[in-house]
Chain A
């Protein structure tokens, strides 16, 4: 973990050389710095105006973007005490020209850039925009794209200014939680599938079928015998042709006893069939699987809790400490 946080400083050292950064000195001739291009700038400005009018607003917008990018990178570098704004702009222009050798920008125009980016007049700035447009239009399509990329060192430093170390840590943890959650979900699905399999009626074997048929046949035989008994009791009672309440009560009791035996036969049969079904679904395995589902869901809840704690850490509580 410490390596992770030491890395940026190592990169800074590699990129910027020493403990206090790199101090650049202007290299342009004294005349340029003192506004020696003012006369030339006036002419460029009118040329620029004419040039701009010949191009679409989209093209002009792109040119503006290029100039804006130079200024943005320059300001950034200066504010980060990496290099002065002027020097940053100068090196970027040189890089851009090197990247687009067919741009047709002459040495004189390059120095014009320098003077403007050292704080020359607004008119000169407009002229520079026209030069930028000229460069952009005559260069390859990749020119603007390549040109507008900051160096990896600058990008890294900006990333760290925005808290890259914090966000990276957050992103890595978030990804690991997400991965763990996905794995748990997949495992849960497998377990659930197995539970469904065990609970689903499966085709019975011939022996099982035969056993069930025997149980059912036994039940039907017993019920048939009891029906015969009931019929005989009824016939015998009717043959008596009696209204004696005692006789009637005894008959009702015998019929009730038969009904009770019939109910018991049915119950016994159902119990036997149920036992057969339970034998088919291994109860111990099912219980283990249900326990596994509960365990998985607990782990998932734990991951969700950690995720939100992390979120609070990265987005809320952590930041509020600054």
Chain B
């Protein structure tokens, strides 16, 4: 963690100035130093861009922590995440297809 102290400071700053409760802030503070560089950059990027991402990260994290180290439960959570992402990706692709078709129709007319 000492390889990217500035990013850690920045991430903490983002959390400190967020609307999260003190308990949730603490939850983040404790773990931020152990994120790898790429994750840390993405975390700052997403949190700065969308303040609600923080709520979602906390919520997701709590769900995983609630597994209390049970690997079977963690496995289920990650499976659910994978399905959620795949479902979301499919929706986005469908939306894009519809938009493209609409555009084609407009061009044709």
A: which residues have CB within 8 A of B?
1-2, 5, 8-9, 12-13, 16, 18-21, 69, 72-73, 75-76, 79-82, 144-145, 148-150, 154-155, 158-171, 302, 305-306, 309-310, 312-322
A149 to chain B: which residues have CB within 8 Å? 1-2
A286 to B22 alpha-carbon distance, docked (Å): 65
| B71 and A12 contact, CB distance less than 8 A | yes
B74 to chain A: which residues have CB within 8 Å? 8-9, 12
- How many A-B pairs with Cβ below 8 Å? 142
Q: List 15 A-B contacts (CB under 8 A).
A: A5-B79, A9-B78, A19-B71, A20-B71, A161-B31, A161-B64, A169-B85, A171-B42, A306-B96, A312-B92, A313-B92, A315-B50, A318-B56, A320-B52, A321-B88
A315 to B99 alpha-carbon distance, docked (Å): 21
B1 to chain A: which residues have CB within 8 Å? 69, 148-150
Kindly list 10 other residue pairs between chains A and B, CB separation below 8 angstroms, not including A148-B33, A155-B35: A16-B71, A158-B34, A159-B39, A162-B57, A162-B61, A309-B96, A312-B92, A315-B46, A316-B52, A319-B60
From B76, which residue of chain A is reached at the shortest CB distance? A9
B contact residues, range: 35 or more
Question: Looking at chain B's contact residues, is the secondary structure mostly helix, strand, loop, or mixed?
Answer: helix
* Contact residue among A162, A165, A168 (Cβ-Cβ distance under 8 Å from B31): A162
| A2 and B42 contact, CB distance less than 8 A | no
| A313 and B71 contact, CB distance less than 8 A | no
A169 to B68 alpha-carbon distance, docked (Å): 26
| A155 and B36 contact, CB distance less than 8 A | yes
CB distance from B34 to the nearest CB of A (A): 4
| B65 and A166 contact, CB distance less than 8 A | no
Known: A9-B71, A305-B96. A80 touches B43 (CB 8 A): no
B95 interface contact, C-beta 8 A = yes
A72 to B52 alpha-carbon distance, docked (Å): 25
| A158 and B31 contact, CB distance less than 8 A | yes
Bitwise interface map of B from 15 to 51 toward A, beta carbon under 8 Å scored 1, else 0: 0000000000000011101111011001100100110
A5 to chain B: which residues have CB within 8 Å? 78-79, 81-82
* Contact residue among B43, B79, B82, B92 (Cβ-Cβ distance under 8 Å from A162): B43
| B82 and A1 contact, CB distance less than 8 A | yes
| B57 and A163 contact, CB distance less than 8 A | yes
A309 to B52 alpha-carbon distance, docked (Å): 17
| A322 and B31 contact, CB distance less than 8 A | no
A145 to B35 alpha-carbon distance, docked (Å): 15
* Contact residue among A2, A81, A314 (Cβ-Cβ distance under 8 Å from B69): A81
A167 to B41 alpha-carbon distance, docked (Å): 10
A138 to B29 alpha-carbon distance, docked (Å): 29
CB distance from A136 to the nearest CB of B (A): 13
B72 interface contact, C-beta 8 A = yes
From B29, which residue of chain A is reached at the shortest CB distance? A72
A317 to B89 alpha-carbon distance, docked (Å): 11
A73 to B81 alpha-carbon distance, docked (Å): 26
A128 to B78 alpha-carbon distance, docked (Å): 40
From A72, which residue of chain B is reached at the shortest CB distance? B30
From B83, which residue of chain A is reached at the shortest CB distance? A5
From A321, which residue of chain B is reached at the shortest CB distance? B84
From A71, which residue of chain B is reached at the shortest CB distance? B30
Closest 5 CB pairs of A and B: A81-B69, A319-B56, A21-B69, A309-B92, A5-B82
